[in-house]
Structure 1
Amino acid sequence: MLRVAEGDVVGADARVLTAHDLQVDEALLTGEAQPVQRRPDPPADPGAGPGERTTMLHAGTLVVHGSGTAVVVGTGADSELGRIAGLLREHSAPDTPLQRRLAALGRRLSAAAVAACALVVVLGLLRGEPWGIMLVAGISLAVAAIPESLPAVVALALAAATRRMADQGAIVRSLPAVEALGSVTVLAADKTGTLTTGHPRAVAVWTREGVLELPAPGVGGVGVAAGGRGGRALLEAVVLCSDAEPGGGGTEGALVDAAAGAGVDVPGLRAALPRTHVRPFDAAHRSMRTTHAGPAGPLEVVKGAPEVVLAGEEDAGRTVAAWAGEGRRVLAVAAGPPGAVRLLGLIATADPVRPDAAAAVRAARAAGIRPVMITGDHPGTAAAVAAAVGVTVPGDPPDAPGHGLRPVYARTDPAGKLAIVTAWQEAGHLVAMTGDGVNDAPALRAADVGVAMGRRGTEVAKEAADLVLTDDSLATVVAAVAEGRRVFDNVRRFVRYGVSGGLAELLVMLVGPLVGFVLPLLPGQVLWVNLVTHGLPGVAIGSEIAEPDVLRRPPRPPSEGLLTRRGAFDVLWVAALMTGSCLGLAVWSAARGGPWQTVLFATLALTQLGMALTTRSDRTPFWRMAPAGNPFLFVAVATSLAATLAAVYLPGLSDLLGLDPLPAADLALVAAVAVVPAILIELVEAARARRSG
């Protein structure tokens, strides 16, 4: 048996036996911001969700008013919390899009590099080259052909994005989830605390003198604006027929706060009209009734469901219907001599929409992300909030048939939220899910990116999430999407740069013997070129700032890889261009009896360093972009250029690598040829930008 009273946390799932105005905060399980009434009615349908089981108390919920007794029916794994824990154990977090894309790219590049290097070794042996040299050359080329700094670039880009996101109020618990945010196509938001404030307040009053929408945070001036005495009499009656104190929270606290904000002296009024009798709210009467001693005789106040208190008031009834359609909760208030009370008016409460919610939803739509709202709250309330913030707007595409996909889901339990996330994923979407309660944890774990609220979120929700918001703002999620897209763009830039350079090195080794170079580059030379071109410049490419339109373009298709068809084509022609430039200049040097291998080495390195500068943007030439956008790239290129020149001119190092110092004229020619591929790349990208508008 359980005996519960105001302030108690329920210790087990239990069926109510007796209740005295028993109200419970179940936001932990249902997301419903308002306390719910619990009473010993006939049991609800076994398939009903936690919020609809009016006879049940659930472990972990908070009694905010009244008292009662209940018989325990479930503990541990058999409780609602236990079932949620079971869902968490059954569902692990999926791999992020970046993890899947990197794995696929790694398999393809490894297979291609091994095959090409084996071909180089075989051809060398057929030409009579020593097998030891060819084996070392093959291994060195395999190392150089694969952009092995890619993991470092990804890790550093994600770490830098994590720091920037922390500055904006988002704490990252899983590094790969940063990039996954940039790929999401559906943003599933919990209502309470994410789209709304999570703190109910009085939002409107109706009296026979008029209607007043109450501004946040209080109702300053309501007595005058609503018709003077009528509005004030309504709020004074609310204070008398309530046990709440200002700032007490919940619906009752919101009503008293409204009165205090209008200038009602709550303690003074209650002292002047002391309570002599009370009939607490119960299921049978659906109202609370108090009697007070006053100088003019006894005063009775009734506060409760409009259909109980109104008794045929048509004007008030129309207001009730309109407010209910907007998702507001309405109470009617009457007062007068005992047995002769008359209607004073109506007061509506609601969980207000967060000031930044609508703008965040609009930003998500502009970024091509479909907003979806999932809540355990009432369908009418859910529909009103969805319309207010823009989750539903006229002209939206129809619901997807066959999957049960729609923009608003109400009265959902933990299993239902999990099923909704899974259904969107099965329809080919990448889903980011926000939540704060224990009931959200399974869906947060199953989503491609789980986002928990840091202020009001439970520890269970935070543990299941990839991202924790310190400000509980949906706008922070949208800002994090921009960071995710920035990370992916930079990783893609490095992949195109690194694969192009690696392919050029392979082609030089494969084509070189066909133009008379038995072993175009020694193993140490290949590794040095790879080190100076893929090391610091690769890391610097991962620091590039986001494109201006990063949140004005649609998300990438989930099936799109790091190298698109056009990206692969670019890699091929750029690698061929670099190969032709390098071998052409080496052939010219050999014909003059010059140090052709050093020329080939220097040209291959400088060509790739020049190409690194072109990776900054696909639409703006690098010479028009401010260095301040990515100063590290210029420092990295300069440092790598110095390392290349050191390999050519520094005694000891040049001997170790088998290189000869280049005459100044040869070095100038190498530099001139090295910039040609970069210029051609910029011209091609400029032509594409003009064609695309």
Structure 2
Amino acid sequence: MTVQQSSLRGLSSEQVARALAEHGPNTIPAPRPPSTWRRVLMQLRDPMILLLLAAAVLTASLRDFTDLTVILVVVMLNTTVGVIQEIRAEHALAALNRLTAPHATVRRDGHTAVIPSADVVPGDLIVLQAGDVVPADLELLDAVQLQADESTLTGESVPVEKDPSDQLYAGTVVTRGRGTGTVTRTGPSSALGRIAVLLSNQRPLPTPLQRRLAALSRLLSIIAVALSAIVAVAGLVRGLPLPSMIVTAVSLTVAAVPESLPAVVTLALAIGAHRMAQRAAVVRKLPAVETLGAVTMVATDKTGTITEGIMQAERLWTDSGTAIATGTGYDPDGDLRPGSASTPAVHSAGDNPAERPDVRRLLRNVALCNDADLAPPTGEHPHWRAIGDPTEAALLTLAHRGSVDPDRLQAGHPRIHEVPFDSVRKRMTTFHRIPGDDAVLVVGKGAPEVMLTPGVTSYGDLDRARAVAAELSESGYRVLAVADKVVPPDVPHTENGLRLVGLIAITDPVRRNAADVVATFTEAGIGLLLITGDAPGTALAVANRIGLHDGEVVTGADIDNGKDPTTGHVFARIRPEQKLDIVSAWQTAGHVVAMTGDGVNDAPALRRADIGVAMGSGGTEVARQAADLVLTDDNLGTVEAAIEEGRRIYTNIRTFLRYALSGGLAEVLVMLIGPLLGFAVPLLPGQILWINMLTHGLPGVAIGAEPADPKTMQQAPRSPQEQILGAGLWKHIAWTGALIAAVTVTAAIWARSVGAPWQTMSYLVLGLAQLGVALALRRPNPPGTRALRFLDLAVGGTLVTLVLPLVLEPLRDLLGLQAVTGTEALYAVALAAIPGLVTAIRRLVRPGAENLHRRWTWWRAGHRRSTRP
């Protein structure tokens, strides 16, 4: 297929299918996943596994086939579990990458549609506006004040002006204006694709948490090696053979260090991110998962997050009176009815407002000065949807409900020039050829404080309009002023000197769960900042509805005049670039800030925030690509769910550390204390490795997958400076490990005193005690549920495998164990239950020292902020 300029209808479905078959998807080929053997070799490169392999060589040279068999079984099982966990994590991350794939707006079969960028083909007609990421290389057919940021390719940060016939390149960002273009190159053939192919084999960097845990593992390894060396030297002093003590030391080192920690963390982060995606929060960057648990302040835009995001033009005002629009969402069905007597500062007039000349003029103007479109219901989307700016889509819907056909109107009044909307100017102006006349119709719409000023709008009752706009704004409406003029064709294109036509009041209903979300944030120690470009009255009305009681509204003008953004929680008339100042100020005050945004100018603030949150359905592509988290439902409640998930994952990682490190500490203490009490070798190398493999395997992974504590969102956020073993965790590890070691040694002493197999009793109590602690650290079931969870099944399976050597003679001989009587088994179970029972009682009785510490830290930080000069 040769690439030609597409007609305004775009490609047909048949042409798209042929082009897709010829050129393939518009994606960069992903590197091939490593083979199974390569995955196995990567697992075998782990330092702990290398130690075990060295021990295997040593035992083989000594013909110690019993220990050799145990070591090889442990290596094989650990490697198998590691490969399975790696594949599961990769599958979860691949699913996330598919969810975060960019989208493009195209014209196909005469209709505008939003499709995944991967489905773009050469010849496609792409529709671009400010905030879009260019999906492929294309040639511009038309461009209206279009600028593109090409820094991803050229390194130049200054946007480049683009004219018709100019080239746009994949991966660049439209920063201003709008345009359409024909795709010329896709996928690896595009300019960005050729660069991306060179970088496609780079492996992703570890997250900050993974780096901290890797450092912790190195430290633990050094400590474990030192303690194991002490055990080996003590054995040599007692006359035990050198090879045996080397194998024992290696086994103890492997047991003391939780080698499954990296796999558990990676899997917990990846599966957690996948679970967030199922709750409409798509994680684009894995470190965001761990940062979410530390968020102390959420800065949110009003439209689409606090509110439904379905803009409805509900009221309109002209000199002859008011009208109220009926209908639901963006559905064109509906009509206009006379305004009620309760409408602020206005009166009703006429039986059918749509027949009034000034109303028809107003509807004509908002249909012409408009770049949006409406998409009808489909199987995937059962309701009418906005394509483009939701506010402009609401104006199109209003025109339909007033019996005005926007498509026919736009065809009859061709646009010859325009000045696009700009967040700084807060207005938009279009110029149209009047049918049957050479004159030009100029239509402007924008914020009342901009439009209702002398010079911009020079004719009409501006004082009355300002009063109506103020009262509507205080009632919670977003207000647009509309004006126009007719000029001869030879007059320069100017935006000023317009005549007032009327006002339109737009509402965006507050979400039903917004007040509950704000209450949950407050209980969780998380503050909320409401930021909007609307008037102060609108911002305050919405804040009151959701329970965000803050008497002061900080405006954009206040910030320009040097006002400290941390003095308020409600912000109005804020320009997108001022969001960066707000985020920076609260971060300087010591907060971890999550920031929501949807526009091209929000991208700097999204990058600056600790967590950038983009709108997935109504936002721009550049905002989504700049964010860490994308909300597919644009709902603030989803941010709450994501924070809860982030807290759950971080808590589970700390729980695993407590479980695994206390078990490893107990094993080291038993091997150190045992000889002092007359037990030459408390545990054989094979027994140590068998316990370690079982207790750190499935139960460890299951702890990482535990559900959130029902009280998670009733606790203060953790400090971002908190160490992974901070907030008293190392103390819990110390006393839990000491308690497990104590009951294990007690079992050995009792067994020796009654002539029972003391080494087997040590093995049994040490393993059972660790499983008891795992159950004690289990999250409580939600009220009214008693379903078995993964951790229950993991502990049950591990228990069977732990006891199995006592029943099967070949396995018992392999591990050097002996059979025990029923009384001995009951005594072992009773002793092994003590650490778990103590752990469970402390969790129930104590109010939670960790949470008290965090609340104290959080309160002190807030007190310092509130009392600083």
Give the TM-score normalised by the residue count of structure 2: 0.59
Q: How does 1:327-338 map to 2 (within 5 A)?
A: 328-331=478-481
Deviates more, 1:402-411 or 1:431-440: 402-411
CA deviation profile, 1:506-551 (whole Å, cap 9, x unmatched):
1101111111112211111111111111111111222222121222
Matching residue of 1:577: 739
CA deviation profile, 1:139-169 (whole Å, cap 9, x unmatched):
2111111222222222332333233222222
Distance 1:634 1:101 in 2: 30
Matching residue of 1:678: 836
Deviates more, 1:239-248 or 1:438-447: 239-248
Matching residue of 2:700: 538
Distance 1:487 1:390 in 2: 29
Q: CA deviation at 1:602?
A: 0.8
2:846 match: secondary structure: helix
Distance 1:454 1:384 in 2: 26
CA contact (8 A) 2:228 2:252 kept: yes
CA contact (8 A) 2:319 2:502 kept: no
Matching residue of 1:505: 667
Q: CA deviation at 1:431?
A: 3.0
Which residue, out of 175, 178, 184, partners 2:289? 178
Letter of the 1:189 partner, please give it: T
Deviates more, 1:234-243 or 1:501-510: 234-243
CA deviation profile, 1:37-85 (whole Å, cap 9, x unmatched):
989xxxxxxxxxx99x9xxxx98256579xxxxxxxxxxxxxxxxxxxx
Q: 1:392 to 1:593 in 2, by over 3 A?
A: closer
CA contact (8 A) 1:450 1:467 kept: yes
Q: CA deviation at 1:479?
A: 1.3
Matching residue of 1:83: none
Q: 1:256 to 1:488 in 2, by over 3 A?
A: closer
CA contact (8 A) 1:241 1:288 kept: no
CA deviation profile, 1:367-388 (whole Å, cap 9, x unmatched):
322334567x577599569747
Matching residue of 1:106: 217
Matching residue of 1:68: none
Q: How does 1:75-90 map to 2 (within 5 A)?
A: none
Query: Unpaired runs of 5+ in structure 1?
Result: 1-5, 10-23, 30-36, 40-49, 66-92, 294-299, 336-342
- Are residues 1:482 and 2:644 paired? yes
Distance 2:308 2:783 in 1: 45
- Are residues 1:217 and 2:217 paired? no
Matching residue of 1:319: 468
CA deviation profile, 1:616-642 (whole Å, cap 9, x unmatched):
14xx6x9999551x5222221222122
2:313 match: secondary structure: strand
Which residue, out of 669, 678, 684, partners 1:516? 678
Q: CA deviation at 1:488?
A: 1.7
2:595 match: secondary structure: strand
Q: CA deviation at 1:256?
A: 5.0
Matching residue of 2:797: 639
Q: CA deviation at 1:480?
A: 1.5
Q: CA deviation at 1:595?
A: 1.3
Q: 1:480 to 1:242 in 2, by over 3 A?
A: closer
Distance 2:428 2:223 in 1: 78
Distance 1:385 1:26 in 2: 30
Letter of the 1:347 partner, please give it: L
Q: CA deviation at 1:495?
A: 1.3
2:480 match: secondary structure: strand
Distance 1:268 1:149 in 2: 62
1:205 match: secondary structure: strand
CA deviation profile, 1:453-511 (whole Å, cap 9, x unmatched):
33344554444433333333332222121211121222222111111111111110111
- Are residues 1:663 and 2:777 paired? no
Distance 1:610 1:580 in 2: 15
Distance 1:383 1:440 in 2: 19
CA contact (8 A) 1:306 1:332 kept: no
Matching residue of 1:339: none
Matching residue of 1:369: 526
Matching residue of 1:121: 232
Among the aligned pairs, what percent are the same residue?
39
Matching residue of 1:558: 720
Q: 1:182 to 1:389 in 2, by over 3 A?
A: farther
CA contact (8 A) 1:200 1:349 kept: no
Query: Unpaired runs of 5+ in structure 2?
Result: 1-7, 10-103, 105-127, 134-143, 147-157, 162-171, 180-203, 341-347, 375-387, 446-450, 486-498, 853-869
- Are residues 1:163 and 2:287 paired? no
CA contact (8 A) 1:147 1:502 kept: yes
Q: 1:223 to 1:104 in 2, by over 3 A?
A: same
2:285 match: secondary structure: coil
CA deviation profile, 1:159-206 (whole Å, cap 9, x unmatched):
332332222223333334323222222223356655567776534323
Q: CA deviation at 1:598?
A: 0.8
Q: Which has the higher contact order (CA 8 A, sep 6+)?
A: 1
Q: 1:457 to 1:315 in 2, by over 3 A?
A: closer
CA deviation profile, 1:318-375 (whole Å, cap 9, x unmatched):
213444676734326799xxxxxxx997322547366368344554344322334567
Give the TM-score normalised by the residue count of structure 1: 0.73
Matching residue of 1:137: 248
Distance 2:292 2:244 in 1: 47
